[in-house]
Amino acid sequence: MSPASAPPPAPASWRRHEARLAWAFVLPALGLVATVAVFPIAWTVWESLHLHDLRMPWLGRPFVGVANYVEAAGDRRLWSAVGHTGLFAVLTVSLELTGGLVLALGLDRLRRAAGLVRTAVLLPWALPTVVAALIWRFIFESPAGLATAMATRAGLEAPTWFADAVAAWVPLVLADVWKTTPFVAILLLAGLQAIDPALSEAAAVDGAGPWRRFTGITLPLLRPALLVACLFRTLDALRVFDLVYVMTGGGPGTATEPIALYTFSTLLQNLRFGFGAALSVLVFVAAFGLASLAIRVMGGDAFLERRS
Amino acid sequence: MRRRAWGWTAVTAALVAALLGPLYWAVLSSLTPEPRLFAAPGLVPRALVLTHYRALFEDHDFWVPVANSLIVAGTTTVVSVVLGALCAYATARLRFRGKAPILAFVLAVSMFPQIAIVSPLYMVLRAAGLLNTYPGLVLPYLSFAMPLTIWLLDGYFRQLPLDLEEAALVDGAGRLRTLKEIVLPLAWPGLATTAILTFLYSWNEFLFALSFTLGPERYTVPVAIALFRGQYQVPWGQILAGAVVATVPVAAVVMVAQRRITAGLTSGAVKG
Amino acid sequence: MAAIELRRVTKAFANGGLAVEEVTLDVADGELLVILGPSGSGKSTVLRLMAGLEEPTAGQILIGGRDVTGDPPQSRDLAMVFQSYALYPHKTVRENLEFGLRMRRLDAAQVVARVDRTASLLGIDTLLDRKPAQLSGGQRQRVALGRALVREPQAFLLDEPLSNLDPVLRVSTRAELGLLHQRLRTTTVYVTHDQEEAMTLGTRIAVMRDGRLEQLAPPLEVFRRPANVFVARFVGSPAMNVWRCAWTQTADGMRLVSPAFALAAGTVAIPQPPSGQLDVGIRPHDVELTPAGAGDVDGVVEVVERLGSATIVHVQAGGPGAELVRAAIAADVPIAARERVGLRLRPDRLHCFDDRTGQRLS
């Protein structure tokens, strides 16, 4: 064998070299994320400890410690917003999980036209939330929207949807469920398809009926997927903004105002940056806390198992 | 057995109809002349007109928001996929300390509620004179796009057969060459999926676009249709036309890439 | 071609267990060293350590006399054939073969010449423009070999190259590999769990178990003088019969007594074991069948396996529950199940091992 072709020279210690290369790859991305996400969060926390009202610039920006949080604790509108957000989360997530499960089960059994149905199913999810909000607002417009017309035809008295503090929730919840059930269905479908069909078949041979097979085999094995779907949808429900802003503006009055919208009004309409920052931090903590709790309950492995 | 299959087909068909129904209604209404919009609604169109679309583009220059959305979403996608792929390759394959914390960090950032960072971003952008500009939107968009691309691509790179990369190393290729010639060509389905999802999320984004643009010249499509205000009454016809226009690119992407999208959504358990 | 040397190389798992434990071995220039062992023995890890795909926890690795322990795979000038072949699926066969050469800054003409030469050597010159997906398993294996050969490296590392082939192809390819090695005299490290491959191809065999090197010797020595019970049973098919015996000394000489038989050693010197007990082994080919009563132990034939070229008889001797004794006899001997037979164990064909450590007693 001729040594005519010499191999490239060996670096001193390739572990260190590879680590350096790795950090070179990682830093641009991380740097950006830190700049546009982490730094603002830190700023928000700092800001929440100050009084900063742009309508009253002469007050400057004094440090006030936890005064904003104290105010938040006693703020009626905030607690209403928390209630609205919670109600919204409970209603939408439960409906989406149920509907998504039914849809996933149906899709699982599809033999033909699966691609077509999948496209149809994905469309509501892929739309801008704004579009979904407008479409459903249109349907529920009074006095002559589709919903009212259908209700009247069915012989029911239809409320003035968006003027009624309770009725306004109907289009809101419907729109969100309509838009995100497909996403839940897709997640659950993947979980369903990962279940070995031999298990169900063995159970059937053993004499278990369809309901028994569902509750005894399918549901338990689907639990991880259900939990993941539940977690993500709950987090999203906590952060809901687009839908409510466009559909009801939080109204009538503030009857449907979720936390994110209240924070938005405080910040960009009332220009109360300090107080708004405190609200932001509260939302952040709530979302983060929920996510950490859920991850711990489900086992961080569910998320990080594939990662080293 | 066959009876049960029919039952499921019926249920699925009903659900699919429920999902598509409102869209059909919206499209139909966008083609219905204004006076008839709230008249007795029927499933079958009686008269179809394009007046709303014409008004949208001629009177309201709807091309402008469409262009803005394309530029912002496109730029965000390109930047986040390129930088995210580099970062993800490192976390997926290179050996160094700090991998798990980086991924945990990325996951954590993806859980940030947008509202929480709106005001500081607003102030920074204002100070930098970037309000109502393209960079002024792309940069905030990266706050959700980068965690998304990193997470998805990390998962995807790990799925690629390791021995191909090892073979390349033993053959004498360094990490960069291996990435360029072996990994990326094989990873392009994953890159495509990631790009598609990133584009979709960027196209649909509302809160940042609402907060960081000041006038119609920089509104993106979601903002433009949300802020549509007629002179005297809500111009539903035009709003719905705008909604349809906003939906067309999305629908096209979904129709072409529904398999990829499904794979992408389930691979990383992407947040809705 | 340079030699490869491992000095007390150890590789620990993440959980603390040892994948490779204090392995010291050398690969002489031009030899084909087979690393043989069951799955989990650490043999593939040793190969990967040589290649630089893993870093040792302790010890040194030298190639051509140069310490390469800290060097990345790219700079070790070795070629590896993976068990899965690891062909680049998006490149043609030619591009696969060229890949490693492009890093060496050879000019285009040289590259083409080498690729063509290697391709015709392996009989894949008609496949150069195809992609791996269009090739059969045997063809892919040749391309994998070609990719290694074309680089003319300091040594070849082959990780179970034949295990994905069907049995017939395996035997013919095995012969070709042996031929190739004879012609090219390339230093090769060959990992396998198949003892037949090890015996036929290896200049020397390194037998590994649980991360440790059990024996490093030419094939015949491993076969004839296995270093311990594990090697004795792992090499050679069917496996060696092993019994626990008590060593006694009588007026006529040494005797080995087991629950099944008592064997007079005659003139053969059997070392006295410290504990008075030892493990005695004899290969099936050295067990002779005699009429019942005429051998050292009687038994009943349980299973007769006729291979065509030979016959393997499993005999129940030494009571119920004892392991069946394996005897390999000529193909045409008439024998049937449930026959009573005698087994003759020639003392000069016995292997003796320490009952506690399993090491050979010489």
Q: pLDDT tens for residues B102-145?
A: 888 888 888 788 888 888 888 889 889 999 999 999 999 999 99
Residue whose C-alpha is closest to residue A107's, from B22, B8, B17, B267: B8
A160 three-class SS: coil
Q: Average pLDDT of A163-186?
A: 89
Q: How confident is the model at residue B231 (pLDDT cuts 50, 70, 90)?
A: low
Question: Residue A143: is the preceding peptide bond cis (ω within 30°)?
Answer: yes
Q: Specify whether B20 is located in the same domain as B104.
A: no
Least confident residue range of B12-26, B36-50, B204-218, C208-222: B36-50
Q: Rounded mean pLDDT of A269-286?
A: 87
- Of A91, A96, A134, which is closest to residue B22 (Cα–Cα)? A134
Closest residue in chain A to residue B86, using alpha carbons only: A25
User: Count of B–C CB contacts within 8 Å?
Assistant: 59
Of A121-135, A195-209, B33-47, C14-28, the range with the lowest mean pLDDT is B33-47
Exposure string over A121-158, b if 16+ CB within 10 A, otherwise e = bbbbbbbbbbbbbbbbbbbbbbeebbbbbeeeeeeeeb
* Three-class DSSP category at C87: coil
- β-sheet with C310-316: strand ranges across: C287-291, C340-345, C297-306, C310-316, C325-330
Could you tell me the sign of the dihedral formed by the alpha carbons of B204, B206, B207, B212, in that order? positive
Which is more confidently placed, A216 or C192?
C192
For the segment C123-149, the average pLDDT, to the nearest whole number, is 91
Contact between chains at B170 and C103 (C-beta distance less than 8 A): no
- Burial class of residue B218 in the structure, from the number of CB atoms within 10 Å of its CB (0-12 exposed, 13-18 middle, 19+ buried): buried
Please state whether beta strands C204-209 and C32-36 pair in parallel, antiparallel, or not at all (unpaired).
parallel
Q: Which of C2, C183, C179, C22 is nearest to C76 (CA)?
A: C2
Distance CA B122, CA B131 (A): 8
B21-30, B160-169, B177-186, C254-263: range with lowest mean pLDDT: C254-263
The per-residue pLDDT for A9 is 37
Residue with the larger pLDDT of the pair C348 and C205: C205
Q: Which two tokens stand for residue A77?
A: 């509108």
pLDDT for the residue numbered A305: 42
Do residue B34 and residue B68 come from a single domain?
A: no
Cβ within 8 Å, pair A33-B143: yes
Rounded to whole angstroms, the maximal C-alpha distance in chain B is: 74
CB B153 within 8 A of CB B191: yes
**DSSP state letter for A53:** B
Contact: B167, C88; criterion CB under 8 Å: yes
> Does a structural domain hold residue A298?
no
**Residue (of C242, C237, C231) closest to C207 by Cα position:** C231
Nearest neighbour of A183 by CB, restricted to B94, B247, B272: B272
Which pLDDT does position A10 carry in this prediction? 39
CATH number at residue A162: 1.10.3720.10
Measure A11 CA to nearest chain C CA, in Å. 7
CATH number of C241-354: 2.40.50.140
* B215 compared with C258, residue with greater pLDDT: B215
Residues of chain C in contact with residue A17, where contact means CB-CB under 8 angstroms, are 72
The tens digit of pLDDT for each residue in C179-206 reads 999 998 989 999 999 999 999 999 999 9
**CA–CA separation, B110 vs A287, rounded Å?**
11
Q: State the Cα–Cα distance between residues B24 and B43, nearest whole angstrom.
A: 9
In single-letter form, the type of residue at position B146 comes to M
Most confidently predicted of A159-173, A226-240, C171-185:
C171-185
Whether residue C209 is predicted with pLDDT greater than 60 in this model: the reply is yes
The pLDDT of residue C277 is above 70: yes
CB neighbour list of residue C320: distance below 8 Å, 6 or more residues apart = none
Domain presence at residue A58: no
B216 and B111 within one domain: yes
| B119 and B73 in a common domain | yes
Across the interface, of A102, A122, A190, the residue whose CB is closest to B15 is A102
CA A200 → CA A104, A190, A225, C47, distances in Å?
A: 17, 17, 18, 44
Record: contact B96-A281, CB cut-off 8 A: no
Residues ≥6 apart with Cβ < 8 Å to A245: A133, A261, A264, B206, B210, B226
Q: What is the pLDDT of residue A306?
A: 42
Check: CB of residue C29 under 8 Å from CB of residue C187.
yes
d(CA A203, CA A211): 11
Instruction: Give the structural domain span for B205.
Output: 56-267
**Burial (Cβ within 10 Å: 0-12, 13-18, ≥19) of residue B43:** exposed
Residues of chain C with CATH 3.40.50.300: 4-234
Residues 6+ apart with CB under 8 A from C58: C8, C9, C10
Is the dihedral angle over the CA atoms A289, A294, A296, A302 positive or is it negative? negative
Is B153 in the same domain as B77? yes
- Edge-first strand order for the sheet with C262-264 is C262-264, C253-257, C241-250, C277-282, C351-354
Residue C120 buriedness (CB in 10 A; 0-12 / 13-18 / 19+): exposed
Helix, strand or coil, per DSSP, at residue C23? strand
Using pLDDT thresholds of 50, 70 and 90, give the confidence band for residue A90: very high
Full-model pTM? 0.84
Q: Give the pLDDT band (50/70/90) at residue B229.
A: low
Helices (H), chain A: 14-33, 39-47, 67-73, 76-108, 114-126, 129-139, 146-153, 169-193, 197-205, 210-213, 219-238, 242-247, 259-264, 273-298, 301-304
Instruction: Quickly state the pLDDT bin for C355 (edges 50, 70, 90).
Output: confident
- The angle that helices B99-110 and A14-33 make with each other, rounded to 10 degrees, is 10
CB of C357 within 8 Å of a chain B CB? The answer is no
For A127, the enclosing helix (H) or strand (E) is none
Distance between start and end Cα atoms, chain B: 35
> Between chains, do B167 and C73 touch, taking CB under 8 Å as contact?
no
In the structure, what pLDDT confidence band is assigned to residue A7 with cuts at 50, 70 and 90?
very low
Query: What mean pLDDT is predicted for residues C124-141?
Result: 90
* B104 in any annotated domain: yes
Which residue would you say has higher pLDDT here, A29 or A155?
A: A29
Neighbours of C46 (CB within 10 A): 29
Number of domains in chain A: 1
* Residue pair A142/A162 in contact by the 8 Å Cβ criterion: yes
| Whether residues B149 and B193 fall in one domain | yes
DSSP state of C24: E
Name the band, by pLDDT with cuts 50, 70 and 90, for residue A157. confident
Range(s) of the domain holding residue A112:
76-262
* Nearest Cβ partner for C79 among B168, B170, B174: B170
Q: Is C274 on the interface with B (CB under 8 A)?
A: no
Whether residue B133 sits in one domain with residue B29: no
CA geometry: angle A28, A32, A37, nearest 5 deg: 150
Q: What integer best gives the mean pLDDT of chain B? A: 84
List chain A residues with CB under 8 Å of C62: none
Q: Please check whether residues B103 and B77 belong to one and the same domain.
A: yes
Contact criterion met (CB < 8 Å) for A242 and B207:
yes
Contacts of B142 in chain A (CB under 8 A): 32-33, 36
Question: Do the Cβ atoms of C72 and A10 come within 8 Å?
Answer: yes
What chain C residue is nearest to B172 in terms of C-alpha separation?
Answer: C74
- Examine the domain organization and report whether B37 and B61 are in the same domain: no
Tell me the mean pLDDT in the region A203-216.
84
Please name the residue that has the structure tokens 């040194």: C60
Q: Does residue A158 sit within a domain?
A: yes
Q: Is the dihedral of CA C344, C347, C349, C355 positive or negative?
A: positive
Report the C-alpha gap between B244 and C21 in whole angstroms. Answer: 68
Which residue in B52, B119, B175 has the most chain A C-beta atoms within 10 A of its own C-beta, making it the best mutation to test that interface? Answer: B119
Render pLDDT for B68-83 as a digit per residue (tens, 0 to 9).
Answer: 999 999 999 999 999 9
**A89 belongs to a structural domain:** yes
What is the helix, strand, coil percentage profile of chain C, to 5? Answer: 25, 35, 40
Q: Chain A: nearest CA to C9, how far in angstroms? A: 18
Architecture (CATH level 2) of domain C4-234: 3-Layer(aba) Sandwich (3.40)
Flag whether pLDDT at A55 surpasses 70.
yes
**CA–CA gap between residue B272 and residue B265 (Å, rounded):** 9
Would B175 be classed as within a structural domain?
A: yes
Whole-number mean pLDDT of chain C? 88
Which positions ≥6 away from B255 have C-beta within 8 Å? Answer: A119
Average pLDDT over residues A256-282: 88
Is residue A14 pLDDT above 80, yes or no? Answer: no
Nearest to C84 by CA among C144, C171, C169, C151: C144
User: What is the pLDDT, as a whole number, of residue C255?
Assistant: 75
DSSP letter at B134 equals: S
- Work out the angle at residue B198's Cα, subtended by the Cα atoms of residues A88 and A116, and round it to the nearest 5 degrees: 80
| ipTM for the assembly | 0.84
Write down the pLDDT at residue C106.
Answer: 80
Residue showing tokens 């929480």:
B116
pLDDT class for B44, splitting at 50, 70, 90?
Answer: low
CA distances from C115 to B259, C78, C118, C173 (A): 40, 18, 5, 21
Which part of chain C has CATH 2.40.50.140?
Answer: 241-354
pLDDT tens digits, B13-36 = 888 888 888 888 888 888 877 776
Confidence at residue A141, expressed as pLDDT on a 0 to 100 scale: 81
In a domain, residue B224? The reply is yes
pLDDT at A195 over 90: no
Residue that wins the pLDDT comparison between B271 and C343: C343
Per the CB < 8 Å rule, is A10 touching C68? yes
* Residue B138 belongs to domain with CATH number: 1.10.3720.10
Res B2 pLDDT > 60: no
Q: Are strands C262-264 and C212-217 parallel, antiparallel or unpaired?
A: unpaired
Of C79, C86, C90, the CB nearest to B186: C90
pLDDT over 60 (residue A4): no
- Which structure tokens are listed for A289? 């806390």
C-alpha span between A36 and B53 (Å, rounded): 37
Q: Are B127 and B64 in contact (CB under 8 A)?
A: no
Nearest chain B residue to A186 by CA distance is B262
Contact A256, A244 (CB under 8 A): yes
Do B111 and B94 fall within a single domain? yes
Picking from B203, B222, B272, the nearest residue to A180 by CB comes out as B272
Report whether the peptide linkage leading into residue C226 is cis, meaning its omega lies within 30 degrees of zero: no
Kindly state the tokens that stand for B236.
């539903």
Q: Is the pLDDT of residue B65 over 70?
A: yes
Residue contact B106–A33, C-beta within 8 A: yes
In a domain, A239, yes or no: yes
Across the range A128-142, mean pLDDT stands at: 87
Distance CA A307, CA B99 (A): 9
Both B90 and B218 in one domain: the answer is yes
- Alpha-carbon gap, residue C342 to C289, rounded angstroms: 6
Q: How many independent structural domains does chain B possess?
A: 2
Whether A105 maps to a domain, the answer reads yes
Beta strands in B116-159 (DSSP E): none
More confident residue, C112 or A165: C112
Helices B236-267, B184-204: axis angle to 10 degrees equals 150
